Structures are given as structure tokens and as C-alpha cells.
Amino acid sequence: MSQRPDVRPRRIAVLSVHTSPLAQPGTGDAGGMNVYVLQTARQLAARGTEVEIFTRATSSHLPPVQQAAPGVLVRNVVAGPFEGLDKYDLPTQLCPFAAEVLREEARQQPGYYDLIHSHYWLSGQVGWLAKERWRVPLVHTAHTLAAVKNAALAAGDLPEPKTREIGEKQVIEQSDRLVANTADEAAQLVDLYAAAPGRIDIVPPGADLTRYSPGAKAAARAELGLPVHEKIVAFVGRIQPLKAPDVLVAAAAEVLRRDPGALRVLIVGGPSGTGLERPDALIELARALGIADSVTFLPPQPPDRLVQVYRAADLVAVPSYNESFGLVAIEAQASGTPVLAADVGGLGTAVRDGESGLLVPGHRIPDWADALTYLFADPERLRRMGRRAEAHAANFSWAHTADGLLASYSAAIDSYRVDHDLSRALGERVSLERALGEGGQAR
């Protein structure tokens, strides 16, 4: 990957069609991608690259433009109805969205954006069109891939439609560079989507290490109204089948059957997606398993309260069926709390097995119950893991991510120029040959 500072973009268009970086993450369609887009934009702007983020307006109260941070604008594009449009219906609104993105550039001087970075395949489709029009490179981050998600579906979850996979393949083919969170994701892009390995940059996401840091457990519990003396395992994130909060609840029920009062489960987040999507469904599950009194629910929390959740917990569980990275795992570790995670996707990178937490292969309830019992059996070992977790998380900062993105952008701009100079030269040669062929000599 080239790191030439001379090809650093002055201003980029970031496309985040289906979810706004200003939305509260942890419910609906808002999660790690929102955090990623906003945090990297801040870091890029601080390094001198202005960022304009285009997202679909989901309320009539939103102004057309919002300043999210110095050098970072969010453009709320009107495309389709503000409310009630399902993520799966969004492909029908890509045309009006793209039209507004193109119109915005037309209002400015030519060459206003040096590069486009699209997030998720829907944005990639818009980026593909804008790239052709503006003659600038397109960098794409998939965040999740349909083929990967469909290969490990949770019970009750619906498979991603074939059309998404087709759309993803097109975007991957059209992008100048692809950003993958981990080496695993890079391999999936190559194996499942035929991406050229030389066009992929591996750039791990981060956590806001100034916000997520260790702190007093007792004070955090007091702030959240949680009991001081219980062992607490927390789940943080969107409540949807893919995230498998039900696996944690069922495993906790098994532990509590063996040892009543052994732990409390704290679930933080709001509904999202299909199937086991409602906190109500989890409440019903806890009731059916006879552990309703040992499960506490909190709605989605803003970052300054979320850090207290991580500090209050003795352990954070991430039992997802698939996770391209898992920001919650890094945030928890940065707050000094070990993580018990499923051994899937990026979680193998986010958690150091046996050091900063534990990775569990598969989702068998007895395995998860055993892992909980093992970790809670030795409080000193758990505290040691917490210290290692903090050290491990220190490797993942948004500053580091932004540096990786800038290197990817430089490489994209470089290769784009080379390709275009080459095709222009080829074009000139073809017209010269034609002219020579037709008239016997150049005119």
C-alpha cells in the first residue's frame, strides 16, 4: 500500500445510505458502522481531509446539512419516505439518492471531491455511479457480506436476498480499492466474491480510547442502579437473532440452575431486524427459563453511559453468529473488562483467546454455560484478564484506523491515475492508428 502524502485527498464524499452516523447506535439499523463512519471522519478531518457524509434523511425535521465535527458535514438526502421504509426496500431509492449526490457536486466547482468512500453495498452502488461521473476513485468497505451471513444464519433469521449478493459482487468489481476489517474478511472477499487480493487493504477498526477506559466498578453500578455484589455478564448491542443474546440468556439459566444466584445478565440495546428482535421476546425467554429476576434490561445508551456499563460488568459476552469485527468487544476491553465471544469472524482478532477473554467455538448452550462458570470461578484470573484486555485494546484506536484509510486512499488515487493515464495513452494511440489507417498519414 502506497503512503505517499502527496496524493492525500483534500475532500472526500463518504456514502452511508441506509443509516446516519448521527443516529444512536444499538438499535434498528444503527450499530458499529455508524460509529465507524463518524469516528474515522473526525480523524480524517483532523488530518486535513475534509469529509462530507451523505445519508438518507429519516425525518422531516432534519436540516439538509449538519456539521458533525470540524471538517465533517452530514448531508441528509431526501430519497423516499422519511419513515417506514425497510432496509430491504432501500434498493428502490438508490436512484433518487444518487441523483441528489450528483447534484450536490454539480453545485460546487468541478473536482470538488477527490475520492468516494462507500460503506455497505447499497452505498457502493451509488458510489459506482458517482465515480464514473466524477472520474475519481471509489474505495469500498462492505462491513457485512451476504454470502458470509447466509452461511451462518441464526435460527429464525431470514437469509439475505440473492439480489444483495449480486449487488455486492458488482460493487466489489467496480471499486478501486476495498477496505477489510481483518485478514479473515479479506479472504472472504477473495474466496466468495472473486476480489483481486492486491486491491484489498486490511485496516482494523478501533475504539474511542479516550472515552473507553477502566474506572471504578462500584461507582458505575451505582450510576446504573445495579447491585454491587453480584457477578454481572453484559450483552451490548442490537437485539437481533444474529447477535444471539438468547444464547447468553439460555447459558446463564443453565449456570443459575447449577448455582442459584451465581450471576446477573445485563442486556443493553434495542430492537433490530427480524425474529427474536424484541427485548420482549428475550424477557419472555428469561421468564420461561425461570430467570427473569436475574436479567436486567437497559435501552440503548450513549457513549458516556455505555462506558459505565462496561465498567460495571465483570464480563461482556458477544455470542454473535457472525461479526465482521465487533466494536463492542474492543470497547469493553478498553474499559478493562474481559470478553467472552463466539469464535467467529473478526472476534478472533478482537479478543485474544485465553488472555483478554475467551473464544467459544459454536453456540451450544452447555459450552457457553461452562465458559461462564469457568470465568466466574476465579475472580483474580478474571481481573488479570481485564488488565490484559485493556493492553490488547490499546492496539485499536480510531487514529490508527484513519492512518490506514489514508494509506488506502493514496493507493487508490495513485492506481486510478496510472490506469487513466494508460487508458488515455491507449485511446490516443488507437485514434492515431485509425487516422493513419484511413488517410495514410496523421492529419
State the residues that interact with ligand UDP by CB under 6 A.
25-26, 31-33, 35, 236-238, 268-269, 300-301, 303, 306, 325-328, 331
Choose between 334 and 412: whose C-beta lies nearer to ligand UDP. Answer: 334
Residue 357 near residue 381 (C-beta atoms within 8 A)? no
Shortest distance, position 119 Cβ to ligand UDP, whole Å: 11
Q: What is the dihedral of CA 15, 81, 74, 111, to 10 degrees?
A: 50
Instruction: Quote the CA–CA distance of 294 and 307 in Å, as a whole number.
Output: 22
Residue 390 near residue 329 (C-beta atoms within 8 A)? no
Choose between 29 and 100: whose C-beta lies nearer to ligand UDP. Answer: 29
DSSP-assigned letter for residue 397? B
Nearest residue to ligand UDP by CB is: 31
Shortest distance, position 211 Cβ to ligand UDP, whole Å: 9
Choose between 303 and 362: whose C-beta lies nearer to ligand UDP. Answer: 303
Q: Would you call 127 helix, strand, or coil by DSSP?
A: helix
Helices (H), 181-325: 183-193, 217-224, 245-258, 279-288, 303-312
Its sign, for the CA torsion 314, 257, 252, 321, is positive
Instruction: Quote the CA–CA distance of 393 and 371 in Å, as a whole number.
Output: 22
Choose between 315 and 327: whose C-beta lies nearer to ligand UDP. Answer: 327
Instruction: Quote the CA–CA distance of 204 and 395 in Å, as a whole number.
Output: 10
What cell was used for 21? 452516523
From the list 52, 200, 182, 193, the residue with the least C-alpha distance to 117 is 52
Choose between 31 and 241: whose C-beta lies nearer to ligand UDP. Answer: 31
Shortest distance, position 246 Cβ to ligand UDP, whole Å: 16
Choose between 231 and 238: whose C-beta lies nearer to ligand UDP. Answer: 238
Shortest distance, position 302 Cβ to ligand UDP, whole Å: 6
Choose between 122 and 255: whose C-beta lies nearer to ligand UDP. Answer: 122
Shortest distance, position 359 Cβ to ligand UDP, whole Å: 16
Shortest distance, position 36 Cβ to ligand UDP, whole Å: 8
From the list 204, 205, 206, 201, the residue with the least C-alpha distance to 410 is 201
Shortest distance, position 361 Cβ to ligand UDP, whole Å: 20
Shortest distance, position 265 Cβ to ligand UDP, whole Å: 15
Choose between 325 and 409: whose C-beta lies nearer to ligand UDP. Answer: 325
Instruction: Quote the CA–CA distance of 178 and 174 in Å, as a whole number.
Output: 10
Instruction: Quote the CA–CA distance of 143 and 401 in Å, as a whole number.
Output: 14
Burial of 291 (C-beta count, 10 Å sphere; 0-12/13-18/19+): buried
